[in-house]
Amino acid sequence: MPDEDSKIDHYVLEYRRTNFEGPPRAKEDQPWMVVEGIKGTEYTLSGLKFDMKYMNFRVRACNKAVAGEFSEPVTLETRAFMFRLDASTCHQNLRVEDLSVEWDA
């Protein structure tokens, strides 16, 4: 983490989807998506979907003149919670059939 009197102006975050755990591999590489101009040392990435289990992330610090090297990539898991509605235990106005759910007023 940078010191308070650091010359760091902003950070650049890059991320990409992958289907495997661990460091990035040459095969199945997806392009890096770029988030520039991050001013703090924390960032919330929104809009992620659960269509791929793992994602690679890397970051680099920049000042007004030059950008540093990227950090070693880390792999994070985007977990999805699976649930199922049960027709026998749901509200009486809720009709559950296979993959559809309807509210019967």
Partners of 73 in the beta sheet? Answer: none
Per residue in 39-74, pLDDT tens? 988 999 887 776 667 788 999 999 888 999 999 988
Specify if 41 maps to a domain.
yes
Specify if 83 maps to a domain.
no
pLDDT of residue 94: 84
* CA 79 – CA 96 distance, rounded (Å): 25
**CA-angle at 42, arms to 36 and 44, nearest 5°:** 75
Domain count, the chain: 1
Specify if 66 maps to a domain.
yes
* CA 66 – CA 10 distance, rounded (Å): 11
Residue 6 has pLDDT above 90, yes or no: no
Residue 87 has pLDDT above 70, yes or no: yes
Query: Where residue 27 sits, what CATH number does that domain have?
Result: 2.60.40.10
Range 67-91 average pLDDT: 80
Range 22-33 average pLDDT: 68
Q: Which domain holds residue 55?
A: 4-76
Q: Tell me which long-range contacts 67-71 makes (C-beta under 8 A, separation of at least 24).
A: 67/12, 70/14
pLDDT of residue 24: 57
Shortest CA distance to 57 belongs to which of 10, 11, 1, 13?
13
Per-residue burial over 19-33, b = 16 or more CB atoms within 10 Å of its CB, e = otherwise:
eeeeebeeeeeeeee
pLDDT of residue 18: 79
Confidence band for 26, pLDDT divided at 50, 70 and 90: low
Specify if 89 maps to a domain.
no
* CA 13 – CA 34 distance, rounded (Å): 6
